[in-house]
A and B are shown apart, each in its own frame.
Chain A
Amino acid sequence: MKIAVCVKQVPDTWAEKTLQAGDSTLDREGPEGVMNEIDEYAVEEALQLVEAHGGDVTVVTMGPVKAAETVRKALSMGAEAGVHLLDDGLHGSDALATSYALAEVLKDRGFDLVIFGSESTDARMSVVPAMVAERLGWAQATFAQKVEVSGDTVITHRVSETGFDTVEAPTPAVISVVEKINEPRYPSFKGIMAAKKKPVETLSIGDAGLDASRLGLSAAWTTVADFAARPPKAAGTVVTDEGDGGVKIADFLSEQKFI
């Protein structure tokens, strides 16, 4: 089974994220970059599927030069090869452009499954996997908390508002996973050393055969009019419990007409 895992480098979860004054895009240079947390679960799931069924895992990313660190991390976890879509013309690409670029890179490489994390911690849109499935015309089995493969069928448990739905889909399919699916491994020392020798294909817009006019900030189909830091919340009242803390909260809730 040939599996691609799409990963994204994002500002460290704990870092303060800011938009840049010039073009209203996220500052990706300032904070330390890390692999989007849920993408680690996607890499782990791909590795487990290959360990069970055979095959290999290719990690795919789109992002600036330092996004190569994230490819390297996935390789050190056990992925075989990497593809890094790297071009200044990609800066500011919206979800539609990103899905176009990824779909073009993914489509003719013989993958049976493409696995994503269900959302990134920066944009939090959760739309790219569905858009990629739409563009490829492949089955979509997203928001999976469990993935099983049986022959040419993939069976997932899709998280629903009330529990989960069992979804069956033929391969090739696009999957996204949620964090409860597994426990990602830490790269071993041996894995880190081996990763240095693994092949990473770096592709420009031209190399990948992409239409540059559909990519980057100028091609985005949404535009930011303005943004501002949220005004700090006015300080509330904090009291120390002296045996009547619960009653005091009840008084507050009563004043606010909640009870």
Chain B
Amino acid sequence: MGEVLVLVDQVDGAVRKVTTELLTLARRLGTPAAVWAGPGYSDGAAATLAEFGAATVYVADGAAFADHPVAPKAELLAQLVAEKAPTAVLIASSAEGKEVAGRLAVKAASGVITDAVDISTDLVATQSVFGGSTVVHSQVTAGTPIFTVRGNSVAPEAAPAAATRADVSVALSDAATKAKVTGRTVAVKGGRPDLTEAAIVVSGGRGVGGPEGFSVIEGLADVLGAAVGASRAATDAGWYPHQFQVGQTGKTVSPQLYVANGISGAIQHRAGMQTSKTIVVVNKDPEAPIFELADFGVVGDLFTVVPQLTAEIAKRAQ
């Protein structure tokens, strides 16, 4: 079986969970080879990549991969595609991941499919489009198939491999290094998991009523170890920071459990959460369309139901 390149998604040298999902998926298609771009490759990172089945790790640890967005990673992958002739390339469906895939597709003269939720052994990708209303199966017909895969689409399974390090040097073009990162600003995270990676997401919408109301949402999120999300109505009103917006123009999430509080369920929001495995809804309007998606719903005031739920979970955890 040929190699399947997996671009490692990492934050400051820590391998993100989506990478372990991509390696798990890659094993179905061929022999996984991780591609590390940027400084900070460590024994810890190597151990994670080995645990999830990377036979090889191509390491390009130049500072340029951190200092310039997108383009250098695409040039690295294009070089590896030309040298190794892999079966496919898998990249996380983050904003940057999709852009890397796009530039790589141009460079490698290859078709690209974004936001796959599954890939079969014969390289047919499954996508869930139009807010989850339509399931599409598609294939790349030219070049080396490039896929970006949504987080939480595949359950990561360990399958230890060697993760043999192979250093790669790339001569980056001038065009790839024109845009330069001159600063990084990290929003306060409060120790919660990343929205797109979290197994559980607790969200609030218009019904939360104001910024102070989100303390109720955060309280429930924290007893569940969940990420906090918000509908566009809530972020547009300035009640909760924009980067937590779930929906058609925000993040797309697909957690094991999604708890929607005070969210009516307009298409704008559903498009970002409809593929969640289990959905719980609290809303005082029994006609709210979000109830159509609910596995379990309560028609009631979130300010009484949610604190009671939070207290009950805390009690049962003891």
For A249, what are the chain B residues with a Cβ–Cβ distance below 8 Å? 280, 282, 296, 298, 305, 309
> Which of under 10, 10 to 19, 20 to 34, or 35 or more describes the interface residues of A?
35 or more
Decide if A38 is an interface residue (CB 8 Å cutoff): yes
Q: How far is the CA of A140 from the CA of B72 in the complex (A)?
A: 11
Q: How far is the CA of A230 from the CA of B313 in the complex (A)?
A: 33
Decide if B234 is an interface residue (CB 8 Å cutoff): no
Which B112-148 residues sit within 8 Å CB-CB of chain A?
A: 112-115, 124, 128-130, 132-143
For A161, what are the chain B residues with a Cβ–Cβ distance below 8 Å? 11, 94, 194, 196
Q: Is there an interface contact between B98 and A126, defined as CB atoms closer than 8 Å? A: yes
Interface residues in B, total, Cβ within 8 A = 94
Selected interface stretch from B153-161, B163-171, B178-186: B178-186
Residue in contact with A173 in the complex, picked from B11, B138, B179, B235, CB distance below 8 Å: B179
Known contacts A13-B248, A230-B128, A241-B305: does B296 contact A236 (CB below 8 Å)? yes
Interface of A is mostly: mixed
For B137, what are the chain A residues with a Cβ–Cβ distance below 8 Å? 224-227
Chain B: CB-nearest residue to A155: B182
For B115, what are the chain A residues with a Cβ–Cβ distance below 8 Å? 124-125
Q: How far is the CA of A119 from the CA of B296 in the complex (A)?
A: 33
Q: Is there an interface contact between A166 and B293, defined as CB atoms closer than 8 Å? A: no
Q: Is there an interface contact between A245 and B95, defined as CB atoms closer than 8 Å? A: no
Q: Is there an interface contact between A245 and B249, defined as CB atoms closer than 8 Å? A: no
Residue in contact with B298 in the complex, picked from A99, A165, A233, A239, CB distance below 8 Å: A239
Interface of B is mostly: mixed
For A14, what are the chain B residues with a Cβ–Cβ distance below 8 Å? 266-267
For B186, what are the chain A residues with a Cβ–Cβ distance below 8 Å? 162-163
Q: Is there an interface contact between B280 and A253, defined as CB atoms closer than 8 Å? A: yes
Chain A: CB-nearest residue to B124: A225
Q: How far is the CA of A241 from the CA of B197 in the complex (A)?
A: 31
CB-defined A-B contacts under 8 Å, sample of 7: A126-B102, A163-B186, A167-B69, A221-B141, A225-B139, A227-B136, A246-B304
Which A positions have Cβ atoms within 8 angstroms of B?
13-14, 16-19, 24, 37-38, 94-96, 99, 118-119, 121-122, 124-131, 133-135, 137-143, 145, 155, 157-170, 173, 179-180, 220-230, 233, 236-241, 244-250, 252-254, 256, 258-259
- 20 new A-B contacts at CB < 8 Å, known A134-B106, A221-B143, A227-B137: A13-B268, A38-B249, A130-B102, A135-B106, A141-B179, A160-B96, A163-B186, A163-B243, A165-B181, A169-B179, A173-B178, A221-B105, A228-B135, A240-B298, A241-B299, A246-B298, A246-B307, A247-B308, A258-B256, A258-B257
The 9 closest A-B pairs by CB, nearest first: A241-B300, A246-B308, A127-B102, A221-B111, A246-B309, A139-B178, A166-B183, A130-B99, A221-B142
